[in-house]
Amino acid sequence: MIVEDNAPRSAIAPLVEMREVTKQFGSLTAVNRVDLDIHAGEVHAILGENGAGKTTLMNVLTGLLKPDSGQIFLDGSEISISSPRKALELGIGIVHQHFRLVENFTAAENLHLGWNDTPRLAGNKDLIDRTHALAKQFNLDVEPNARIWQLSVGEQQRVAILRTLSRGARILILDEPTAVLTPPEAERLFEMLRGLAESSNRAVIFISHKLDEVITASDQVTVLRAGSRVNTLRTVDCNQELLAEMMIGRHLDTQPAPPAKDLGPAVLVGKRIVVRNDRGLPALENIDLELRSGEIIGVAGVAGNGQRELSEVLTGLRSIDTGQIFVGDQELTNADPADFLRAGIGHIPEDRYSSGLVSSESIEHNAILRAFRDPPIRRGLFLSPADIKNHAEQLVNTVKIAVRDLRSSVRALSGGNAQRLLTGREIAAASKVLVAVHPTRGLDVGAAEAVRQVLLKARDSGVGILLISEDLSELLSLADRIVVMFRGRLTGEFNKYEYDVNTLGLLMGGSPVEVS
């Protein structure tokens, strides 16, 4: 951060000032008289539980929401931000947790869509060349000619980040920017953000639930709780325990999970699996995998190395070219997803809204999606309203979701509560195996720990769990074994307490490492 030696923070005029900003939705006060100062040359972290007001506050700053009261100043002058377009004109850009990309367009087309600097007569090659140049400039790996729907969530995120950076944002806001990155990639990303912040008259704001990266990467940290600002501190004066307690208002024990005990027989076996991706390119090459009852196998890897295809193959959503899949003693090679469900396979997909939940439907209806075909919910040709309600109530109570009305839409839930609902539903369906893909992505520390405890309880009840995550800290905490994926192959395996973060990171990046 560029600050004159010994100059107090109050002596430096903020680039952005938010004064007593308040935003209400009906009777709910999402942001309550929040003050926030963002200085040029700094990386400023915003922390808080889901529902604490972080995203609402940033949506006000970027023109997606109009505050009910309060003021915003840019370079000392009061401004009115009427829309996201106006925010971009002022140099304020945001990369949302759920990316706003056109799925049928290529990465290069998405990057140039609606951009005044796009040449009017640019052909496809011009767009690709410009995208390559921008990706190199910002050190982000993007495949220009791939369509968005063909990309993993992590690859889509890189496109969204690059699109915002390319428009020259002076204030760059990032929502969970490292959720899909390996530690070396995260380091490179923050080096890039640091360079942006230290360039003339720029600042970076990032929302993160990873306390370690906040400590490592930010200069200032503001903690929100229940819509109010708890405090803003210099990061050098903080530690993870202090930040966690400020976020949730209580002490949180985040010790690594104890190892699995009394492993049972193999519940999921993949033999020599070969699969192609949506572009017809090799995605999985000769994958051998054996998951036993009562254990968690973690799958580590950079986004786009076959993890999505692996999860789809093991839940019946994608056919394989060659190989075999067994659930217990039953072969399910290229079986229908319904057959996998009947065999006892639950699935937490990587995107809870597009693949796991029907956001336009009620909490009640989402809760029964795996159970509506069976008694007591189905009685002959009809569904029982009373049993639907009972099933939903039991589920929300089990995963500890506070809801006023089960008939309200899922979109009314916070990200953490939506993920708890999805996790509880799929674990209830997983009598043998749970395939969990990024189960805590985007969740605050309290919500993430609640989901992890649900996973551990399922493991200890005898369910085998395949945990696919790019969050190494999560894998190190939960997994009894970790396998590493790179370019569709398993390149290494580690047992509990034998993990080495540096070796894992190198293997995830494709470096040849001898694993003992």
Q: Which CATH superfamily is domain 1-91+171-177+202-251 in?
A: P-loop containing nucleotide triphosphate hydrolases (3.40.50.300)
Say how far apart CA 25 and CA 29 lie, in whole Å.
Answer: 6
Strands, E assignment, 156-247: 171-175, 203-207, 220-225, 228-234
Residue partners of 479: CB distance under 8 A and separation at least 6 = 296, 297, 298, 467, 496
Residue (of 194, 173, 166) closest to 16 by Cα position: 173
- Burial of 52 per CB tally in 10 Å (0-12, 13-18, 19+): buried
Using alpha carbons, list the distances in angstroms from residue 261 to 257, 319, 460, 464, 506.
12, 34, 8, 12, 30
Element (H, E) at 214: helix 211-217
Task: pLDDT tens for the chain, 516 residues: list them.
Answer: 333 333 344 457 899 999 999 999 888 899 999 999 999 999 999 988 767 888 899 999 999 999 999 999 999 999 999 999 899 889 899 987 677 899 899 999 998 988 888 887 778 888 999 999 988 887 778 899 999 988 876 688 789 888 888 887 889 998 877 765 556 667 777 887 887 788 667 899 998 767 788 888 899 999 998 899 999 999 999 988 888 888 777 665 556 678 788 899 999 999 999 999 888 888 999 999 999 999 999 998 877 789 999 999 999 999 999 999 999 999 999 999 999 999 999 999 988 887 889 988 999 999 998 888 888 888 888 888 898 999 899 888 888 887 878 988 888 887 778 888 999 899 989 999 999 998 887 676 777 788 888 899 999 999 999 999 877 778 888 999 999 998 899 988 888 777 777 777 777 767 666 554
Stretch(es) of the chain classified as CATH 3.40.50.300: 1-91+171-177+202-251, 266-350+414-508
CA 287: distance to chain centroid? 26
Structure tokens at 414: 């916070």
Query: What letter does residue 11 receive in the DSSP assignment?
Result: G
User: What residues pair up with 232 in beta bridges, in sequence order?
Assistant: 222
Q: Which of the following CATH numbers is that of domain 266-350+414-508: 3.60.90.10, 3.40.50.300, 3.40.50.140, 2.60.40.10?
A: 3.40.50.300
Amino acid type, 367:
A
Give the DSSP per-residue string, 149-168.
Answer: GGS-HHHHHHHHHHHHHHTT
Is pTM beyond 0.75? Reply is: no
Say how far apart CA 203 and CA 178 lie, in whole Å.
Answer: 18
Amino acid type, 439:
P
Residue 402, helix vs strand vs coil: coil
Query: Which phi and psi angles does 133 have, rounded to 5°?
Result: -65, -45
Using alpha carbons, list the distances in angstroms from residue 515 to 395, 483, 484, 493.
42, 11, 11, 8
